[in-house]
Structure 1
Amino acid sequence: MKIISTGRLRIANNLFTYAIIIASIFSGCAKKDPESVSKATLKSNEATQKLLSVDLMSGNPILPVATADPDIIYANGKYYIYPTATGPNASQFHAYSSTDLLNWTDEGIVLDLVNVSWAHTDGWAPSVVARNGNYYFYYTAAKKIGVAVSSSPTGPFVDKGSALATGDGTDPIDPMVFVDTDGQAYMYWGNTTINIQQLNNDMISLTGTRGHNKPSNYFEAPYIIKRNSIYYLMYSINDFSSDDYHVEYATSSNPMGPWTTKGRITSPLGAIKGPGHNAVLRKPGCSDEYFFVYHRRTSTNIHERQVAIDRMFFDGAGNIMPINITVSGVTQSLGSAPCLIPNPIPNGQYAIRSKVNTVSGVGLYLDIAGCAVGNADVRTWTRTTCNGQKWNLTYLNNGFYKIISELPNHKSLDLDACAIERGANVQVWDVFPNDCQQWRIESVGGGWYRIMAKAGNNVLDIVNGDPAPGADVRSWTWNGADPQLWKFENP
């Protein structure tokens, strides 16, 4: 089923879904059983989630069915997401593909447990790795770990004929396979007890001593990446049914540990509960551009989970920054698109000009209404000598900038209430270190930039593209139009 992102119906559909979420925001393993979601519920979800992307952003959730435990890879010019199985007794694994992170196509059943000799039920939490000219599909079935192989990322995957591993501990589930830079592959799996073991070059058999080093609060869903010679082990905390099911991480200089606990990555946000069981993809060809895929829920039905995607960033010390949970998701990203430069504008003072001009062709600038020195609204205005049009940019060494007014009280550009919905007001406010006042600046070519809020991932936008001086500035989903394009000029 192709998920199409065109037309007003799509936008209306999303706004309705977001309105429900926003209204709520403000006013062990039998767990992994999508079959407990009724057919009526699934049909209802499909009707409301079919048209997900808004403007040039993915929207969240991104898949049209209630499912969980996603893995993500990039291959052959496409992104692929592999979630927990659906169908009878959670037996049918699907793959979903996209060229741009906006439109997702159901590639159909890539592995059906009816064709697996040693297990036919409880297909959970796959992990897919490309190697040796093949794709290896690791998965849980009947609380054992299996592996199936295909020459294509969309299968069909053929099981090796027996379980790859059972593992130590009472719940040997949630496999994740990591290939180190020296070519050695490792498998991580297990609930409560973590199992870590090397794979042979054939990728379908294990070798060496099994390790069990884990952070003290490890629960399940291990996922590992390597960055600057440091191994980052991410894992989920609490039972999946908990509203505070979430992801934490630890680091090590060795892929088998021991691990130093670092802290929390995800947290529930209003009606969005249980953001956990994640995977991470570094954009191909980019050194430090990461996508974080995970599941969450807005329903009181704990089995009705949704797959979502947001950006992941590191601070200057190499720590993973907490993920900003969004309803807008991520911007369109073709795998071949140029890598984003994290700090494209040097620190300094600027006038910030809109690509929208007045009807007579006069430039419009980001302006503090009436040159107010206190907390005030932000709007557009023609060029003046007022310091309300002078903005001091400081890069925070974490992918984001602080943008401070030159007016006497030096207020910060601020997203009202850190709101994640589009349409939130942009203002200047007392300076705080929170996400409401951190902004990402990304080049879109021709000397123009989008300015994105850390909270919500939406961009600075002139309401209705109004060319009249005094038009309000708000946050909105990225669409690439002139009201969202800005240039940094000498003040």
Structure 2
Amino acid sequence: MKMKWKAETQLITYAFIAALTFAACSEKETTPANNVNPDAANERVAETNALGLMSGNPVLPVPTADPDILYANGKYYIYPTATGPNASQFHAYSSTDLLNWTDEGIVLDLANVSWAHVDGWAPAVVARNGQYYFYFTAAKKVGVAVGSSPTGPFVDKGSALATGDGTDPIDPMVFVDTDGQAYMYWGNTTMNIQRLNNDMISLTGTRGHNKPSNYFEAPYVIKRNGIYYLMYSINHFGNDDYHVEYATSTNPMGPWTYKGRITSPRGAIKGPGHNAVIRKPGCSDEYLFVYHRRTSTNIHQRQTAIDRMFFDAAGNIMPVSITNSGVTQSGAGTPCYTSDPVPNGQYVIRSKMNTTSGAGLYVDIAGCAVDNADVRTWTRTNCNGQKWNLTYQGNGFYKIISELPNHKSLDLDACGIDRGANIHVWDVFANDCQLWRIEAAGDGWYRIMSKSSNNVLDIADGNPAPGADIRSWNWNGTDAQLWRFEAP
């Protein structure tokens, strides 16, 4: 039976999430789920909330781990590690917009797999040949099952696809190159790489073991501008600093050049790792980063989350900001967001809201204060506290610097992860608190998004009175969140 939930008005609290029970994923994830009360889990569905036109994090209403993501037939599908008795039942979750998710039920049950019945971990799903191929770990072997739709039912091929080399051949991922050749990557500590035949259910050629520095598990490959990016997780999944790093190559089998770190724990959020990546459908260079994380001291209570992933001008993956607001609505008709839509220069920043008498409202530093100070709305003045110098940083983000003598930067107070965090001007630093993405919202209006939180500049409570506080808030598309850049 399918379950569906609607994204409501605010994030679920992490204290509540910490109380949930999860049947986890690998040796790594062997805690059974026999004692999970399905009725209680169903009741939690309505309590998982998104924020306005944002997904919220976590995106799924029950603890899940090791997600893969696929887009097909106008829907996103997330496939996490199996739940049920001895982690034996794989589910799929679907969404048309990233805000509302439907549990499509069991798409593969290890009870129907002849060669393994337990420890179903870390699936990966690929569409090809008019079919869908479901790669999975079971009893520390890699299997493949085939179905005619993204929700299966998937039928196992009847034997393991691979065991791999190394002591822990888990976490399969399949990448199909632009020339049509498919590759499978898998393994904990030892990384296995091998070509797949066109049938997608058998391997061919020599198995490679090229791996980058620090490789531990959960390989994931994408290709961008002719470069292969291999992402992988570091440390045991129960470590608070379980995280993702990456390397690049000009060959899908390596060798790999180590590049750096993508995720880090943030406050109460630990272990952001085991990721997948998808390019937003119809968009040339907009990427979504899907991963699991936890806020509980119980290492098996992990949660699936989605955040944006950006590349800088040199093609490096920028560190992903771990957020509570998640990503904006994405589905049929939603726009693609392009980098650098506003030329560098000096502007006044006008709200789409006006005062009750029709006067314009502008981003303003109260009293033209030259030191660190809050920003607010105010009607138009000639003070330099309303003049802002925009400089594109070559990575999808801008610095927004005041023209006042001390040239303070527009800043998200303490890189606040939650909506409502204060916006002010502060000494200039090279951190995410002071990086802003400007994205066109139509008719000459823009939203101004913090890299640190994925939240946007917002006039508190939609207050039209001059002097209203400007804060960060989840995107909801109201006039209080839309801005225009005008000549000073």
Q: Which residue of 1 aligns with 2:350?
A: 353
Counterpart Cα distance in 2 of 1:44 and 1:412? 45
SS at 2:385 equivalent: helix
Are 2:335 and 1:338 aligned?
A: yes
Q: Which residue of 2 aligns with 1:206?
A: 203
Q: Which residue of 2 aligns with 1:312?
A: 309
Instruction: Find runs of 4+ consecutive structure 1 residues off by over 3 angstroms.
Output: 15-21, 40-46
Count of residues in Structure 1 that have an aligned counterpart in Structure 2: 480
SS at 2:304 equivalent: strand
> Residue 111 of structure 1 is aligned with which of 101, 108, 114?
108
> Residue 2 of structure 1 is aligned with which of 4, 28, 33?
4
Cα deviations across residues 100-119 of structure 1 (Å, max 9, x unaligned)?
10000001111111111111
Note the 1:21-420 alignment, pairs <5 A. 29-33=26-30, 35=32, 38-39=35-36, 43=40, 47=44, 50-420=47-417
Note the 1:441-480 alignment, pairs <5 A. 441-480=438-477
SS at 2:198 equivalent: coil
Q: CA deviation at 1:443?
A: 1.0
> Residue 485 of structure 1 is aligned with which of 466, 482, 487?
482
Give yes or no for contact 1:42–1:65 (8 Å, CA) kept in 2.
no
SS at 1:35 equivalent: coil
AA of the residue aligned to 2:170: I
Q: Which residue of 2 aligns with 1:25?
A: none
Change (3 A) 1:20 1:84: closer
AA of the residue aligned to 1:5: A
Counterpart Cα distance in 1 of 2:76 and 2:190? 31
Change (3 A) 1:167 1:336: farther
Identical-residue share of aligned pairs (%): 78
Contiguous gaps of at least 5 residues in structure 2 = 19-24
Give yes or no for contact 1:42–1:66 (8 Å, CA) kept in 2.
no
Contiguous gaps of at least 5 residues in structure 1 = 22-27
Q: Which residue of 2 aligns with 1:24?
A: none
Cα deviations across residues 345-379 of structure 1 (Å, max 9, x unaligned)?
11111110001111100000000100111111100
Cα deviations across residues 371-402 of structure 1 (Å, max 9, x unaligned)?
11111110000001111111111111111110
Q: CA deviation at 1:45?
A: 9.4
SS at 1:58 equivalent: coil
Counterpart Cα distance in 2 of 1:313 and 1:150? 33
Q: Which residue of 1 aligns with 2:21?
A: none
Q: CA deviation at 1:51?
A: 2.7
Counterpart Cα distance in 2 of 1:217 and 1:98? 34
Cα deviations across residues 123-149 of structure 1 (Å, max 9, x unaligned)?
000000011111100000110000011
Cα deviations across residues 213-241 of structure 1 (Å, max 9, x unaligned)?
00131100000001111110000000011
Change (3 A) 1:368 1:414: same
Change (3 A) 1:330 1:75: same
Change (3 A) 1:238 1:38: farther
Give yes or no for contact 1:85–1:92 (8 Å, CA) kept in 2.
yes
Counterpart Cα distance in 2 of 1:391 and 1:4? 39
AA of the residue aligned to 2:416: A
Cα deviations across residues 377-433 of structure 1 (Å, max 9, x unaligned)?
100000011111111111111111100011111110000000101101100011111
SS at 1:355 equivalent: strand
Change (3 A) 1:45 1:304: farther
SS at 2:32 equivalent: helix
Give yes or no for contact 2:33–2:86 (8 Å, CA) kept in 1.
no
Q: CA deviation at 1:337?
A: 2.5
Q: What is the TM-score with the length of structure 1 in the denominator?
A: 0.95
Counterpart Cα distance in 1 of 2:288 and 2:325? 14
Change (3 A) 1:155 1:41: closer
Cα deviations across residues 144-181 of structure 1 (Å, max 9, x unaligned)?
00001111001101111111001000000000000001
Q: CA deviation at 1:4?
A: 1.0
AA of the residue aligned to 1:363: G
Give yes or no for contact 1:45–1:66 (8 Å, CA) kept in 2.
no
Change (3 A) 1:65 1:33: farther
SS at 1:39 equivalent: coil
Change (3 A) 1:15 1:156: closer
Superposed CA RMSD: 1.8
Are 2:430 and 1:433 aligned?
A: yes
